[in-house]
Amino acid sequence: MKLTKKADYALRAVYHIAQLPEGKLASIGQIAQAQGAPREFLAKILKQLTRVKILRSFQGIHGGYQLAREANKISFLDVVEGVEGPISLNQCCRENLGCCDMYQDCKMRHFWKRQQDSYTSSLANETMDLYVNAETVAKAAV
């Protein structure tokens, strides 16, 4: 059980873009370098994040990526599911009766359902302005 590389890079990319000054775009190369992500893999991830309307892409020599909506409207869940599809910690977590021969009698699935609910709700409650907030708090404390 581990966050996939794909989801990790997707979060890093959106994190990177969320920190840019308003109106500024980030190129694939800039994100790849800043976040230590392989360029080809990152390009596919950025395309997918654009398709699910988390990012907006601009063509041309001064093109690049920016957020498609405000950072506080983009949750970790949006980003992870945007590149991975619906999260399912175990095969039975999305209440699909045909998923497993043991489904009807297995008592373990209630545990997994609770983990699934808790994890997805944590991801849904964390938004990409976390950093803005963290910095505001840090500045206020100085």
**Could you tell me which stretch among 22-30, 45-53, 59-67, 114-122 binds a copy of itself (CB under 8 A)?**
114-122
Residue 58: Cβ within 10 Å count: 10
Residue of 42, 76, 82, 83 interacting with a copy of itself (CB under 8 A) = 76
72 sits near a copy of itself (criterion: CB under 8 A): no
Q: For residue 5, give the H/E element and its range.
A: helix 5-18
Give the bridge partners for 64, in sequence order: 58
DSSP-H helix ranges across 68-129: 76-84, 108-125
Residue 48: Cβ within 10 Å count: 16
Residue of 9, 10, 11, 17 interacting with a copy of itself (CB under 8 A) = 11
Residue of 20, 112, 113, 129 interacting with a copy of itself (CB under 8 A) = 112
Q: Do 73 and 120 form a contact (C-beta atoms < 8 A)?
A: no
Site string for a copy of itself, 31-60 (x = CB under 8 A): ----xx------------------------
Query: CA-to-CA distance for 57 and 10, rounded, in angstroms?
Result: 15
CB 36, min distance to a copy of itself, A: 5
Q: Is 2 left (phi over 0), alpha (psi -120 to 50) or beta?
A: beta
98 sits near a copy of itself (criterion: CB under 8 A): no
| Positions that interact with a copy of itself (CB under 8 A) | 1-4, 7-8, 11-12, 15, 35-36, 76, 80, 84, 87-91, 100-102, 107-108, 111-112, 114-115, 118-119, 122, 126, 130-131, 134
